[in-house]
Amino acid sequence: MSTIAAAPRTWDEFMEGIWKQNPVFVMVLGMCPTLAVTVSGVNALSMGVATSFVLVCSCALVSLMRSFTPKEVRIAVYIVIIATFVTVVDYAIQAISLALYDALGAFIQLIVVNCIILGRAEAHASKNAPVPAMINAAGMGVGFTIGLLALGVVREIFGAGTLFGVSLFSANFQPWVIMVLPPGGFFVLGSWLLLFSWWARRKEAQQNA
């Protein structure tokens, strides 16, 4: 009985971060990496994976420590936990690919102050058992990665004519310079937000009708 009832709830918890509470398109959190590192699909994907890793690990630890974390110093505790995992990611990326490390720059270290992670720790992990907290965090991480990819892919296609480094058009392709510049990030993010809100509104209208 309990397993049957628990399965859809877990799935809902996971899907929440991808669709209903998508950190990029619904909550509009973590805009700094969203706009800054999504110049190409590879950058976006690695940033998403790095953030997801930090998110899942720190939520698990915060959840484990939730019963004896003093309320007064909880934010400091969360930050120390998050910073620990960010340091792990920082060194890991540096070891795997120096080119990627240079491309992402300071934004790897800045995962510490990403409000998605702190928000999850405060709003969910500190009140739930480790497994649901990790599932929720994983959903958020996947949702964030999808959001970054959505921006990165569009910006890479228009800005360089490639997709994950693979050339899509002939050599004669005209790159849209604006797409790799900061304004391009805002334009593409705005367009996606527009599309998703239109989609959500239409769905709502259909349900009401």
**Which of the residues 136 through 165 are near other proteins (CB under 8 A)?**
161
Minimum CB distance to other proteins, residue 166 (Å)? 16
Q: Per rule CB under 8 A, is residue 8 in the interface with other proteins?
A: no
Comparison of 131 and 168: residue with beta carbon closer to other proteins? 168
Cα distance between residue 38 and residue 153, in whole Å: 8
Residue type, 116: I
Comparison of 144 and 158: residue with beta carbon closer to other proteins? 158
Comparison of 131 and 194: residue with beta carbon closer to other proteins? 194
Number of residues in contact with other proteins, rule: CB under 8 A?
13
Residue type, 4: I
**CB under 8 Å to 29, separation ≥6 — which residues?**
23, 114, 115, 116, 119
How many Cβ atoms are within 10 Å of 123's Cβ, its own excluded? Answer: 11
Minimum CB distance to other proteins, residue 119 (Å)? 29
The DSSP symbol for 167 reads: E
Comparison of 76 and 177: residue with beta carbon closer to other proteins? 177
Cβ(23)–Cβ(142) under 8 Å? no
Minimum CB distance to other proteins, residue 182 (Å)? 10
How many Cβ atoms are within 10 Å of 2's Cβ, its own excluded? Answer: 6
Please work out, in degrees rounded to the nearest 5, the angle formed at the alpha carbon of residue 48 by the alpha carbons of 170 and 75. 155
Comparison of 152 and 184: residue with beta carbon closer to other proteins? 184
Comparison of 53 and 187: residue with beta carbon closer to other proteins? 187
Site string for other proteins, 165-204 (x = CB under 8 A): ----xx-xxx-xxxx-x-x---x-----------------
Minimum CB distance to other proteins, residue 20 (Å)? 25
Report the candidate in 122, 111, 110, 7 with the shortest Cα–Cα distance to residue 53. Answer: 111
Cα distance between residue 201 and residue 209, in whole Å: 12
Residues that bind other proteins (CB under 8 A): 161, 169-170, 172-174, 176-179, 181, 183, 187
